[in-house]
Structure 1
Amino acid sequence: MPGSATAATGQFRYTYTTAEGYEAVGFLNDPPSGECIDLVGPGSAPGSVSRAPRNHTDATATVFLGSDCEGDTYYTLLPGRGASERLLVRSVVFS
């Protein structure tokens, strides 16, 4: 019998720059747990990096500089915490 899907409750936010050079905020509402999510801002250049993640969920978020939650550069955000504008991210997974 398959298990039920779990999700983090709340919102995860990040900042990105559009292809036109404007600052924008992206967000994930109640993101799934245990699944890698690539952070792609609408209208952003392909492969661009996001920054300043804010974890307003009830789960721990691990953000990665690399896509597909890969690479040795990552940072863990506890529930309700954010990081500085300098933290660059391309993907996130919630636990």
Structure 2
Amino acid sequence: MRLRTAVLAAASALTLLVAVPGSAGAAAGEFEYSFAGLDGATQRARILDPESDECISLPEVADPAASEPAFSPRNRTDAVARVFTNPDCTGDAFDLRPFTGRGSERLKLRSVLFIR
């Protein structure tokens, strides 16, 4: 009887692992932001399925001496997106709700952290 219970528990655990899609450490969805390109024209960039709880410095605007900060973020992930005014998730922060969080052109950012 105990062997049958152990086998059933192991099979259930395996089924659960197979049924859960994607990485448990990733926020599902897309994060989008605007930035000024080298020619001054506004460009859009996006991050797909970003890792949770890992700081992401936005590569196009990571160097404050060489670029203006990004702006107009759109959070279409299933996690809270905490955006920061400086690289390496430092400076002032603002949280964007999952799925519908967004900021205007006045919200400046250089890094983001996804919190699940």
TM exceeds 0.5? yes
Show the counterpart of 1:55: 75
Identity %: 43
What number of residue pairs does the alignment pair up?
90
Name the residue aligned to 2:59: 40
Q: Deviations over 1:50-91 (max 9, x none)?
A: 0011000000010000110012x1100010211111100000
Q: TM-score, normalised by structure 1?
A: 0.86
Alignment partners' CA distance in 2, 1:40 and 1:8: 19
TM-score (normalizing by structure 2): 0.71
Higher helix share: 2
Unaligned runs of 5+ in 2: 1-22
Q: Which residue of 1 aligns with 2:98?
A: 79
**Which of 1 and 2 has greater Rg?**
2
Structure number with the bigger relative contact order (C-alpha 8 A, sep ≥ 6) is: 1
Q: Which ranges in structure 1 are unaligned for 5 or more consecutive residues?
A: none
Q: How well do the aligned residues superpose, as a CA RMSD in angstroms?
A: 2.0
